[in-house]
Structure 1
Amino acid sequence: MTEAFDTSALEHLRRTIRTCPVVDNHAHNLLRPTQLKTYPFLSITSEAHGGALEDHTTALSHLRAARQLPELYGCNEDVSWDALLAKRQQMLEKDPEGLIRTCLGGTHTLLLDDGIDDGTTVHPYQWHDRFTTGSTRRIVRIETVARDVMKRLHDLDQPWEVSIQENTGFVSAILRRFTAAFCSHISQAIEDRSVVGFKSVICYRTGLDVKPQSDDELQSAALAGLQYSYLPSCVMNDFRISIKGLNEYILITALNLLSLGSKNNGFSKPIQLHTGLGDNDINLLRSNPAHLQALIEHFPSVPFVLLHSSYPFTREAGYLATVYKNAYLDIGEVFPMLSRHGQNAVVKQSMELTPTNKILWSTDGHHFPETYWLANKQFREVIEKVLVEFIREGDLTPARSIEMVTDVMFNNSNKLYNLGLTLDVADMEGTATDVLIGGPKEPRNVSRTPSSPLASPYNGAIVPTFDRSQVSPYHGVVLDSLKQQHPGLQYIYVQWLDYMATLRVRFIPIREFERLIRSGGRIAMSLGNTGTLQNDTVTSACNTTGKILVEPDLASLRPTYSKDPLASATVMASFVTEDGDALPGCPRGRLLALAEALKTNHRIDLLIGFEVEVVFLKRTSSASEPYEPWTKMNAWGTFTPEQYTVALPVLAEIVEALQEIGIPVQQFHSESGAGQYEFILPPLPPVQAIDTLVQARQVVQQIAATHQLRATLHPMPFDGVVTAAHAHISLNSASLASAGTEKMSMPFFASVLDHLPALCAFTLPETVSYKRIIADSWTSGLWVAWGTENREVPLRKISDGHWEFRCLDGMANMYLAIAAILAAGLLGVSEGLEMKMQDCEPNPNKLDEASRILLGITNRMPTDLETALKALEADEALRNELGSGLVNDYIVMKRAEQKMLEDMPEDRRRVWLIERY
């Protein structure tokens, strides 16, 4: 039956199809220029290899692409294939990024599976941001994580035993260590906001016939596969995991973690599975998604995305997406891999049964930018043809078709992956050329700025965010989860560290905080607040004009301990501009940017672990000496009767309170000074590590106060009591071998040593800090030097890639101190700096001058703060890398602070600092 319809409505549909920006829910990295000739260009329309690919020149998919690509390259339609390639080469030589920008025209956001990134072949995922409106988001490939973990374990243990098949105990230990490391990586990715989903290629490895099993069955199969198949040949196979029991163990472990995340957070990030269409590395029969039915049913809270149209099993995938709430059908890769009629059939089959709110669009773009261009162009042609046919037959109206198009191309992925993007269809204008041949950088229909006015221009006002991509459903879910776990929650402490490491806080009732978060708002504060000292003394760094916005980071949201005076939670915050950009003077934001630069440009992930040293003091009745050590029978690692009866119950209360709010303590013990104890926190990414450190210290000090004690970070509250805040810094890489990581770590720490006198201005930030620069005390030593397991130098190497920075104390703004260390390290890595200083095995204080010179040890540590500040003023490279404005303000404030402290008598100054740190 055919119904009449409005031709203007039909034209509106066509315009929508041609101009709607896309969320590409599955794609891959583009090749670096040096690799373009390594991969055959014929592969843009075929999964075949070798001789089979040579036959592809007669396939309809290739012939169609050969007639469409001249439009992209600006040449005649009937040009020969060789002439077409020559024209393409000219464009690559003249303006390669221009070609890429054209090919990605109309793409709002890419969700990139960067599991094939080996660090040399393809561009890193964030590099692609320059060609799209929105930020590229990551899809983590679980088999790549598993391979890298196995390789890392091997490199740490090398060599593994030759008789491995006979040593079940050894293999069991490897499986336990692998599981712990793998779970840690996946859990971190679940919490990482740049990661929006996961992917498995088990289809390629051992097939989709995966059945849910008990833990014992999974472990038994994984152990057998590890012992008898994987370990004996893993080095030869470059640690690729292709053993059925082991691959299924990896997939189900990841699914269990995602399911647990759903219980904890109220939602789960999706997992994508390669299904159907692939190269000759798959077993076609086992690539049928029907095999996944039991698994999808077993994990109802985990969204499963069935990739690549599951071709030739599109109907089977569509059936699963219809009968299971948590199953979705991706209709990518068949564009441009199939002929026009094949694509037509796939789109129709996907709509035979499947609700269109369960269908997702992707290009599976990879290696060559033309794969993106062809996929988007052909999909828009086919979806238009199919929908117009449905309309002519009376099955759809043009209005409903427009909804379907925008859902498939944008809204469904936006919702499923919690991207927080906004699409206003009514504002879409233009022609197909706008999207497919370049087009505007930011399509008019994508709203990034809410229209609501500022709440108030005054200090304390809550103002709306200007980057709606940050207002993700994740925020509301995190807050809802916290409220469910703590139904009596009444207040949120929004906290940040100022330049002087004073913890500043705003107390916000939970309802107002919820409104703030759900509206994407921030807290306005006078710009002048960044230039004041601990007692609000105004310095010349204070600018009384202007404001900054304080933005809570919900990744750091955690409840306060159970005996806090208020039913509350804490969240750390950063400073941003009205446009949502990090404020250049924000220490937390600067640290985040430097860590990202290290990761993006050099493929290095940092982990930071802190040793929290505190001295517990009790009050006295003396006006001149109001504090004394809490315990006095201290020595390192001792367990005296005084510690057993007096200290241990309080220390245990602290550890239990920290564990209760999600901060595990790895160890705690007495230190050598009277009343001095240490808590060791786990290694975490830099910003997360410092957020956790600040919140842990807060709990320590609050619990101490409930026992009428003062827990201080003062570096020397009494003679002979020397307190530090050592930081363990580990350089890791998912794409570099351990040798490559070590190759990076040497220039990193060589540069840290070169800039160490200037770094001390941040890491030893008070005059009293330099009382630790003494000989033979296991503090920082007197010389700029490094040594393996040497505790008389400021930089101790523990193992390849793992170093301890020792000239650091608790009075430092840790975001600023670690940012300065990263800035120095980045300079060295970027320049490929050679570590000329030798590993110092002996105590350098015991060496004569000639011996020190032979080791390259020629500079002494600064012995006072002013010397360090002058070194910082003179260190132009470090100042520029860290931000000259930030550094200048810090120097001004430090000198103003020292003047304020110098005006106090020594005993009052010591107490003043004890009571603030």
Structure 2
Amino acid sequence: MTPTPLDASAFDGAPLIDHHCHGVVEQTLDRPAFEDMITESNWAAPSGTSVFDSQLGVAIRRWCAPVLDLEPHVSAERYLERRAELAPELVNERLLRAAGIDRYLIETGHRGDDILDPAGMAVRAGAAADAVVRLERVAEQIIETGPAAAAYPDRFRAELREQLRLAVGVKSIAAYRIGLDFDPERPDDAEVIRAAERWLAEIEAGAPVRITDPVLIRFGIWCAVEERQAIQFHIGFGDPDVDLHRCDPLLLTEWLRRTRESGARVLLLHCYPFHRQAGYLAHVFPHVFCDVGLAINYVGARSPQVIAESLELTPFDKALFSSDAWGLPELYHLGAHLFRRGLRATIDEWIRADEWSAADGERLIRKISGENAIRAYGLADEPAWCGATGVPA
């Protein structure tokens, strides 16, 4: 008897939690601005070319166009024309609600003034939302107030605890600022004070307020460990500010050894092209989880293969869903759609080969869609911001 593959209803009883994303912009976008948001490059496409000529660009024309009353595979020109005909609020609402994401964990440390905050996202998406705190931004907020260097360690700890009152975890962009090959040792307060003195002196000399000191970044990470937090790390693929060879999660191995009994949970984000390495770390360390969020949108039609590869070693209790969407509601819609489609295709292949049962596949869907995130973050039943009201719960 031929095994019966899953149908789309397999996702019906699995609430979807986007455990790492940002917010949307709410303004009409011209073509250059839109194309800038569908590439990780910080350069415009070369003359005579378009960012739409990519897996992501094709996926937008295929899967987002119908949400805006267009035929699939419409031209980029017509897609953007139709988008501009609609109010930005309506574009956001249509695409976010079509995504079917039930809960968003939103990190606003990158250009937070340009995007909707968690409360605004809850309203626009008609969903639940919680906040995630960027550690490096906490440090920059403190230093902007001009504290004495000697006060920095206590100020940071106090500010982090305050911001965590309305947050479910933290994120570090150490991969961008110092690489993941950082010293795994926890710096003591004396080291931190000396580093704060150097940073304050640089700012007084005219340097921008941008944390790059390895001691201060490590201190922030260790403070989050001591708070027993869920700690997100950018891993792998990203914009040109990152040195990709220093974003391999295996570089965190010694730090993971030192934190495995701390009570902190470590969430490895994106991971491509290091998703197999991330799966290994989730396999051997009890406190490590991982996803392939950002990659799913960018590989588009190839997303089922990346999802399948990410599940080779990753324990099924450690795999998470995220979109890593920023700015465009298309990225949330596509992230959710390509995730569901890719995971279902992967499971169906195993079912057809008689390696898996449908019940095993349905259980995996529930875990990755939301159950694992609830456990990793210790999510309460009530989010910080609720559905259509956008008010604190």
**TM-score, with length taken from structure 1:** 0.39
1-structure distance, mates of 2:44, 2:204: 29
1-structure distance, mates of 2:89, 2:360: 44
Residue 338 of structure 1: how far off its partner (Å) = 1.4
Residue 129 of structure 1: how far off its partner (Å) = 1.5
Residue 19 of structure 1: how far off its partner (Å) = 6.8
8 Å CA contact 2:186, 2:218 repeated in 1: no
CA gap of 1:181–1:81, structure 2 versus 1, over 3 A, is same
1-structure distance, mates of 2:331, 2:204: 33
Residue 324 of structure 1: how far off its partner (Å) = 0.6
Select 2:248's aligned residue among 288, 309, 313.
288
Residue 68 of structure 1: how far off its partner (Å) = 2.5
Give the partner amino acid of 2:100.
G
CA gap of 1:350–1:234, structure 2 versus 1, over 3 A, is farther
8 Å CA contact 1:117, 1:124 repeated in 2: no
Residue 94 of structure 1: how far off its partner (Å) = 8.4
Mind listing any 5+ residue stretches in structure 2 that lack a counterpart?
384-390
1:305 aligns with 2:267: yes
Residue 316 of structure 1: how far off its partner (Å) = 0.8
1:51 aligns with 2:44: yes
Give the partner amino acid of 1:338.
V
CA gap of 1:16–1:152, structure 2 versus 1, over 3 A, is same
Give the partner amino acid of 1:406.
R
1:211 aligns with 2:183: yes
1:232 corresponds in structure 2 to: 202
Residue 371 of structure 1: how far off its partner (Å) = 0.8
Which structure 2 residues correspond to residues 739-778 of structure 1 after superposition, within 5 A? Answer: none
Select 1:85's aligned residue among 80, 88, 91.
80
Select 1:325's aligned residue among 280, 286, 299.
286
1:347 corresponds in structure 2 to: 307
Aligned length: 382
Residue 44 of structure 1: how far off its partner (Å) = 4.5
- SS in structure 2 at match of 1:274: strand
1:587 corresponds in structure 2 to: none
Residue 125 of structure 1: how far off its partner (Å) = 1.6
1:115 aligns with 2:76: no
CA gap of 1:132–1:51, structure 2 versus 1, over 3 A, is closer
8 Å CA contact 1:56, 1:62 repeated in 2: yes
Which structure 2 residues correspond to residues 364-383 of structure 1 after superposition, within 5 A? Answer: 364-383=324-343
8 Å CA contact 1:153, 1:178 repeated in 2: no
Give the partner amino acid of 2:84.
Q
Select 1:418's aligned residue among 378, 381, 385.
378
2-structure distance, mates of 1:22, 1:114: 20
1:176 corresponds in structure 2 to: 150
Residue 140 of structure 1: how far off its partner (Å) = 0.6
CA gap of 1:281–1:326, structure 2 versus 1, over 3 A, is same
Residue 254 of structure 1: how far off its partner (Å) = 2.9
1:337 aligns with 2:332: no
Deviations 1:400-456 (A, max 9, x none): 1000001101111122222244xxxxxxxxxxxxxxxxxxxxxxxxxxxxxxxxxxx
1-structure distance, mates of 2:241, 2:250: 19
1:202 corresponds in structure 2 to: 174
Which structure 2 residues correspond to residues 677-696 of structure 1 after superposition, within 5 A? Answer: none
Give the partner amino acid of 2:337.
K
Percent identity between the aligned chains? Answer: 23
1:619 corresponds in structure 2 to: none
Structure showing greater Rg: 1
Give the partner amino acid of 1:147.
E
1-structure distance, mates of 2:141, 2:367: 37
- SS in structure 1 at match of 2:223: helix
2:211 corresponds in structure 1 to: 241
1:136 corresponds in structure 2 to: 129
Mind listing any 5+ residue stretches in structure 1 that lack a counterpart?
155-173, 259-267, 422-468, 471-592, 597-917
RMSD: 2.7
2:387 corresponds in structure 1 to: none
CA gap of 1:227–1:186, structure 2 versus 1, over 3 A, is closer
2-structure distance, mates of 1:288, 1:201: 13
8 Å CA contact 1:205, 1:242 repeated in 2: yes
Which structure 2 residues correspond to residues 383-394 of structure 1 after superposition, within 5 A? Answer: 383-394=343-354
Residue 42 of structure 1: how far off its partner (Å) = 2.0
1-structure distance, mates of 2:77, 2:309: 36
Which structure 2 residues correspond to residues 247-646 of structure 1 after superposition, within 5 A? Answer: 247-256=217-226, 258=227, 268-300=228-260, 301-308=263-270, 310-341=271-302, 343-421=303-381, 469=382
Q: Which has the higher contact order (CA 8 A, sep 6+)?
A: 2
2:2 corresponds in structure 1 to: 4
1:42 corresponds in structure 2 to: 35
Residue 177 of structure 1: how far off its partner (Å) = 1.2
CA gap of 1:37–1:247, structure 2 versus 1, over 3 A, is farther
2-structure distance, mates of 1:95, 1:148: 33
1:102 corresponds in structure 2 to: 97
1-structure distance, mates of 2:159, 2:202: 25
2-structure distance, mates of 1:94, 1:355: 39
Residue 75 of structure 1: how far off its partner (Å) = 1.4
Residue 208 of structure 1: how far off its partner (Å) = 0.9
- SS in structure 1 at match of 2:184: coil
